[in-house]
Structure 1
Amino acid sequence: MTEDTPATNLRSSLETLFTRNGEKWRRFVMTIVKNREDAEDVLQEAIQRVLIRNRPLPSQDQVRMYLNRAIGNAALEFYNTRMRERRRLLPIQEQLVRQAQIEGPDALMEESERRARKEYLLKILRRELRRLPGKQLQALRLTLLDRRGLSIRDAGAAHGIPYSTLRHRSRQGLKSMRRRLERALEARAAGDGSGLRPRGAGRPRKN
C-alpha cells in the first residue's frame, strides 16, 4: 500500500458522498449563510479541512458523519465572522442603539460609560508609553506591541539584545506602566482630572 492511498480513498469517498448528498448539504448551509455563493465557499472549505486533516476513517459512514460536522462548523464560523465584520462596520451610534435595544433601557448609558473609560485608558497608555525610558519602550514594542510573529528570543537577537536583558527591560516597563495607570485611575476616581493633565502642567491656581 502506498503512502497516498488513505488520502486517495478519502478523496474518493468524499466525491461519492458529495454526489449523493451535495444538494442537501448546500440547502442546509444556505439556511445559515443565506447565499448560494457563500454556501459553495463553505462547502469547499469544509471539504478542504477534511482532506488536510486526513484522519483514518474506516468506513464511508464515518466519513459522512465527519464531513457533516466539518460542514456545520465551517458554516457557523462563516456566519459568526460575517456578523462580527458587520458590527465592526456599523457607525458607533447605531451599535450603541442596537445594544440598548437588546439589553434594556440602561444599556446605552452603560455602554457609553464603558467606551469613555476605554478611550480614557487608551489615552493614558499612549501618553505613558511615550514617557517610558527608551530602552524599556523598545523592549515592550519587541515583546508585546510589535512582535511581527517573532519569539522574544528571536526579536532580541534581531536587535542585538540578549534574551535575559530584553525580558528584564520588558518587565521593568510593564511595572512602570502599571504604576502609572493606577495613579491615573486613582486621580480620575478622585475627580481632579490630573490623569490627563499635560506633563509639567501645574494644578489650577486658586483665586
Structure 2
Amino acid sequence: MLPTCAAGQQRRLECAWAIEQAIVATYQVQNEVSAVSDRLILLQNKICEDALTVINRCESHDELDFLFPEIIRFKNHDLAVLDSWQNHVDWMRSLPPEASLPSSDLKLLSSADFNSSETHYSTINLAEPPEQLVYESLAEKSHFASLRDQLLFLFEPELRREYEFYISEQAGITGYKTLVTSNLQQASDLTVGNLYYYFKNRDESKDETELVSAN
C-alpha cells in the first residue's frame, strides 16, 4: 500500500527507480543494447508518470517544500542523465558490428554512478542546492496551488496550454488585450500559474456575487 504522504511516496518511488536503473546497468554489461534502450525509455516514462502522481497527491505547503526542489532536481538532472545514456546506447546500436565499443568501455559506462552527488545533492553539503534557492524565490511570488501546478507543467505541457487558453479567454472578457495566447506562450510557468488563479478566483467571486444577488 502506498503511503498517504506524498513525500513518503516520493522516497519509495526513488528506490524503485534506482533498482530499475541497476537492472538496466546489468543489461549494459552484457552488451544487450536493445534491452538497455527499451528499458531506459520505460524508466524515463515511469519517472514522469510517478512524478505526476506524487505532485497530484501533494496537499500541503510542508509537502511542497520538500517535493518542489526534489522533483526539479530529478527533472533537470537525473532525467537528463538517463536521456544522455539512452542517446549513447542508441548511437552504439547504429554502429556496424565491427565498430562496436570494446567490452572494457561498455563496463566503464555501465558502472557510472547515476546516483552520485553530481545527480543528487549531498545532504552533508552545507550550501543550499540551487533547486532550493529557486523554490524559495518562487515561493515569495506565488502560492501553494500555483506552485504545485508549475511542477505539473514540467511533466504535462498540455495542462499549461489549457491554462494559457483560459487566461486568454478571461483576459479578452475583462479587457486585458495583451494577454493573448502568443504572448502567454513566452511567459514563465510562474506567470502562467499566477495569472490562471487570478482569473479563476475572479471568475468564482463573480459567480458567487451573482448567486447572492439572485437570491
Q: Do Structure 1 and Structure 2 share a fold, with TM-score over 0.5?
A: no
| Higher CA-based Rg | 1
TM-score by length of 2: 0.27
